[in-house]
Amino acid sequence: MAGRTAALSDQERVRREKLEALRALGVEPYGGRFERTHTAARFHEQFGGMSAEALEARPIAVRMAGRMMQKRRQGKAGFAHLQDMTGRFQIYLRQDVLGDTAYEVYKLADIGDIFGVEGTVFRTKTGELTVLVRQFVLLAKSLRPLPEKFHGLKDVELRYRKRYLDLIMNPDVLRTFLLRSKIVRALRSILDAEGFVEVETPTLQPIPGGAAARPFVTYHNALDMEMYLRIAIELHLKRLIVGGIEKVYEIGRVYRNEGVSTKHNPEFTMLELYQAYADFTDIMALTESLIARVAEEAVGTTRIVYQGQPIDLTPPYRRAHMVDLIREATGVDFFRPMSVDEARALARAHGVEVAPHMTVGHIINEFFEQKVEASLIQPTFVYGHPVEISPLAKKNAADPRFTDRFELYIAGREHANAFSELNDPIDQRERFLAQLKERELGNEEAHRMDEDFLEALEVGMPPTGGLGIGVDRLVMLLADQPSIRDVLLFPHMRHAPKEG
């Protein structure tokens, strides 16, 4: 890190000199616990309605703490603003009230230092609620200058790499992460209230499964085996359904070894839940209710605006078959039985790109992704995914080319994926075998054979509805953030910065 090897900047040198000056005054620059009576928010709530006269007539003592963000000294007195997690408050310091030593500490104070104060509440001439400080305690000396007070920290790279500076300087950023916390809390409390059991399952797995994605590979020394970071939670939760935990969920990190973008981070947070004796229509109802209730709880409304676009999250959501949507958009009717060659010809004619391993079902999905997906702004349940791209979903009873599966699209992005879980172990084995063929044809993301999971299914899994929700995307939507990096405290960056 810079400070250690590189020469100190001028400002860093000055701050270290002040550190010594403080010690010479007998002041310890790194203090201990400091009991507070008020946060900034509570301070403004409680005293905001009181007049200068009322405050003067009956002085109220407070103890508060925070990081110094502004300092305005004028000779033998001065002001400063301290910032805590809830906001800022002003303090007023006078040499004749504080005494010479404490006032000297104020004179040596830098933007970024953390102080505890004790004093009484008053209003200044300009009306600002302020603490007249009687006791001024240095709790932590800051040895590096903070970003500029007016423009703040704008450099996107620095904001992500040094998120603590971003949080100090940009109140909106803190708000976004507090909202994220609220959203996750709301998801938990709603599911808990619905009788779902929260569990934790392995993230290190011998066979990665439950999704189509390339895994991260790692190595277990003692067991002398390769292991994978999980790409989904699915297969373990279904084992728990087999085990009799009839309503089960997990909110956890999954890892996919793929590109980084404004919409993708190599590790992201999924909510997966499974409900025995339900099917995908039950899950649809649960999904829209869950999203609406989370929106109500986190942002207070289901009528939100995302990146300038009004979006109404009030249930019920539109339901549309994938094939109908493709027909609306392109005129192509995939309900009509057709050969792979026919489907490929249609793809060529409509400029839809296809890969060598693709069969009719894959091509239908490509049509959907390339021609329909981006236009689904209002919440839409797209159901009836082709069986080839849904190796873990039950086939539709009336038309086995498709599955009882849906994805929820909002703002042109997939927000949820759900289906009636395939509980026929014979069919599941055939699906895995078909996936293995795809793998041989070059689809690296095809599902692997998982004998242990098949064994669980053979014991018998009740009919089950399952759901996965991308929590980061839900936060992006509700927090109106355009990039996944703005809802991850420490998003992945290409490389660590060089030494020095």
Is 246 labeled as ligand-binding? Answer: no
Cβ atoms of residues 131 and 170 within 8 Å: no
Return the SS3 of 396.
coil
Residue 441: CB minimum distance to RNA, A? 14
- DSSP label at 92? E
Distance of closest approach, residue 485 Cβ to RNA, in angstroms: 6
Comparison of 238 and 371: residue with beta carbon closer to RNA = 371
Rounded alpha-carbon distances, angstroms, from residue 305 to 285, 296, 377, 408: 23, 14, 11, 18
Nearer to RNA, 249 or 276 (CB): 249
CB of 436 to RNA, least distance (A): 17
Q: Minimal distance in Å, beta carbon 21 to RNA?
A: 9
Q: Of the two residues 276 and 358, which places its CB atom closer to RNA in the complex?
A: 358
**Are 105 and 63 a contacting pair, CB within 8 Å?**
no
Beta carbon of residue 382, minimum distance to RNA (angstroms, whole number) = 12
Angle at 313 between CA 312 and CA 315, to 5 degrees: 110
Q: Specify the residue, 270 or 276, whose C-beta has the smaller distance to RNA.
A: 270
Rg of the chain on CA atoms, in Å: 29
CB closer to RNA out of 116 and 147: 147
Helix (H, G, I), strand (E, B) or coil at 158: helix
Nearer to RNA, 54 or 426 (CB): 54
Residue 37, strand partner residues: none
Per-residue DSSP letters for 243-280? TT--EEEEEEEEE--S--BTTB-SEEEEEEEEEET--H
Q: How far is the CB of 364 from RNA (least distance, A)?
A: 14
CA distances from 497 to 2, 464, 494 (A): 10, 47, 9
User: Residue 99 phi/psi, 5° resolution?
Assistant: 95, 165
- Residues 324, 118: Cα–Cα separation, whole Å: 68
**Position 490: which residue type?**
F
Q: Based on CB atoms, which residue is closest to RNA, 90 or 281? A: 90
Q: Which residues contact 28 (CB under 8 A, 6 or more apart)?
A: 22, 138
Which residues are 471's β-sheet partners? none
Shortest gap between Cβ of 356 and RNA (angstroms)? 13
Q: Which residues pair with 180 in a beta bridge?
A: none
Residue 407 assigned to a binding site: yes
Numbered residues of the known binding site for Mg(2+): 407, 414
- In the annotated binding site, the residues are 407, 414
